[in-house]
Chain A
Amino acid sequence: MNITPDMKMADVLFHNYTLLPVVSRFNIKLGFGDKTVSEVCRNSDVNLDFFLEITNSYVDEDYIPQKELNTFPVSLIVQYLKKTHQYYLEEKIPEIERNIQRVLDAEKTINDKFSLVENFFTEYKQELTNHINREEANVHPYVLEIEAAAIKNEINKSLHSKIRKYSINDFASEHDNVEEKLFDLKNIIIKYLPPCNSSGLCNSILIELFRLEKDLNAHANLEDKVLIPKVAAMEEKLLALYKA
């Protein structure tokens, strides 16, 4: 079922609770009463079409983005991606870390084994942080620069050599999957760790890992299916302009 402007925002969340963090990323706060999606977006100063595209593709992997998605400014997408990064580093990762620490405190007997999970996760966190930093330091400024040039319809020598040196497709090909490690971690906890008595804690670690994985996939989809093609098209246009 697609999310539409006339639906009540509360109903949207009743049907898809996984959207909760996504909605927060738009700075939309709970307490909607009977307001519709479009009313809530208007009140919170959120671009309605963008909200619909993001939420629909989040709940339905087969959802085909409407053409309008291409009319959103790159800056809006970048802003959303940044919010998502923040959510990973400031909420999700620390939450999982805390639970891992709790298991370590509770399980003295398998403590040494479980500390391997801790190390593994620390490594993962570092990898994810590097990945995010690289995107925010290099890729985001680059795509914003491309967009600004495309709007003005002019390209100078330095931007031309930048595109030649490192285009968005290079980024796409380097776009390593940070999901692999996450998958291994779930596998290790489910299959290979010695039985853990704090099963409640272990379960919540696993559930958070599954959710993080889903969110990362949606995040990667937004980059691969929307941002990259959009920027690639602008690059092409700019290069043609430079030649002329």
Chain B
Amino acid sequence: MIVTYRDALNQALREEMERDDRVFLMGEEVAVYQGAYKVSKGLLSEFGEMRVVDTPITELGFAGVGVGAAMVGLRPVIEFMSWNFALLALDQVVNSAAKMLYMSGGQYPIPMVFRGPSGAALQLAAQHSQAWESWLAHIPGLKVVTPGTPADAKGLLKSAIRDDNPVVVLEGEMLYNTKGDVPEGDHLVPLGAAELKREGDHCSIITNGKMILVALQVADQLASEGIRVDVLDLRTVRPLDVPAITASVRKTNRAVVLEEGWEMAGIGAQIVDTIQRECFDDLDAPVLRVHQADTPMPYAKNLERAAKPDAAKTIAAVKKVMYVAN
């Protein structure tokens, strides 16, 4: 069935709330307004105000409310209107949710989800345009998923809600309207499993989240020039699917890592490290990274375009590792 990414998330929430009455949704504008991005449309009328809870603008507070509720057996889904608003809440995500199981010696699992859009949309400027993968993936005790398609959005969110650990789901404003085929029925995508979204044997493009759309565009364009690439969608950035990365690189012997965030200590740095350790003898070229410019996001259209990772920059990187002229 062809549905939007937004509706796929909505289906996941509805199905999991029907399945398990410990699951509830809490966040700003999730109930009466039906979601800032309409992800929770219809849920209030279906499940009532105890399970679809509008909060004040108080991210740190309601993130902690979710952790507390999870400590005593509920399975909260905490929506951040944007991960850009969640920096204060990171104290609860990191210091409470991620560490509770460990510092309690295994007594208090935290089965919950923190979700919302991450990364840049269009001309939202510096404070609203940040990709959080590397910050969150740094933390032991969290799982971090970045669905790039409607099918993965549904399948990963459903798995995240059923997982007994705190799971971060990074969505994207620019993804909510995208459409794709979502399998009928109880569609689950396992956490920690990458997926090869396009097969090729010349170079691996390793990416995640909304950069999948860029990578697929790149794959199409390169195919017309006779260059066949693997597009490996990590889907989960913690834990990383190392066997999938190494399998692809061992096949193609070349890799470009495409990520939405900044270069310094980014997800790509971890992937390159994995490749150099596991695939040193398989490489025919240095691994290159395509990422956001090392600046806050500018507002001006031309500057924003220059700052973002895009198809042209990715094509240039692929051609460089293949030693062909761009």
User: Bound pair: A and B?
Assistant: no
B interface vs A, CB < 8 Å?
none
A interface vs B, CB < 8 Å?
none
